[in-house]
Amino acid sequence: MMPSARLTLLAAVLVAGSLSGVALASETSIWTNKENGSFVTLTYGPLDPAKTPLFMLSCFNGMGIAVLNVHSGLPDTKPGTALTIDLASGDLTLPVEGESARDQAAGGTFGEASDIEIKPILNVLRGKSPVTVKVGGTNSELSDHGRAEAVEKFTEACELS
């Protein structure tokens, strides 16, 4: 193979590798927190804000309530069905009682726990091990990368924590 052909082939491989990295990055889930007035959220989900996060803890400072949503897919569950959202990190475990709800915008059914105690959830999220969330028959592991910082910022902004 001629040297210029090798360089062209090498460049093509590098570009293809870069593009596949971009595609993978768009599907990566991350921990984020956001503040909008008295509404504060801690989420774990896709980089694309238009996509629904797998995990969302919401703090409504003005109303004094917190809500946990887990969008892990509950296809055969009718809205309003009682369920337990199990959170765990290492030896820390926490069952959170909730119910299934229907996502009108995106479709699908998800787990929701309303008017909950936020401190026990934050204790699990502060664990040193990856967090697992189980709802229905679905078990999801949430990366610990970036979690500590996002939880800390959420804790500072949420008056219920």
Task: Look up residue 28 and give its two tokens.
Answer: 């990566």
Q: What is the pLDDT of residue 5?
A: 39
As a whole number, mean pLDDT of residues 125-151 equals 92
Instruction: Tell me the pTM.
Output: 0.80
pLDDT at 135 over 70: yes
Averaged pLDDT, 2-12? 38
Domain count, the chain: 1
Mean pLDDT of 2-21: 37
* Confidence grade of residue 26 (pLDDT, cut at 50, 70, 90): very low
Contact 113, 94 (CB under 8 A): no
In a domain, 10, yes or no: no
Q: Which two tokens stand for residue 18?
A: 């870069």
CA–CA–CA angle 142, 143, 144 (5° rounding): 120
- Per the rule left: phi > 0, alpha: psi between -120 and 50, beta: everything else, 40 is beta
Instruction: Tell whether 9 is covered by a domain.
Output: no
What are the tens digits of pLDDT across the range 29-66? Answer: 999 999 999 999 999 999 888 888 999 999 999 999 99
Q: Which domain holds residue 57?
A: 29-157
**Is residue 61 a part of any domain in this protein?**
yes
Q: Which helix (H) or strand (E) holds 5?
A: helix 3-26
Q: What is the pLDDT of residues 73-122, one digit of tens each?
A: 777 778 888 999 999 999 999 999 999 888 877 677 888 999 999 999 99
pLDDT at 27: 63
Q: Is residue 136 part of a domain?
A: yes
> What pLDDT score was predicted for residue 138?
87
**∠ CA(107), CA(108), CA(114), 5° rounding?**
105
The dihedrals phi and psi of 120, each to the nearest 5 degrees, come to: -65, -35
**Residue 4 banded pLDDT, cuts 50, 70, 90:** very low
What pLDDT score was predicted for residue 11? 35
65 within some domain: yes
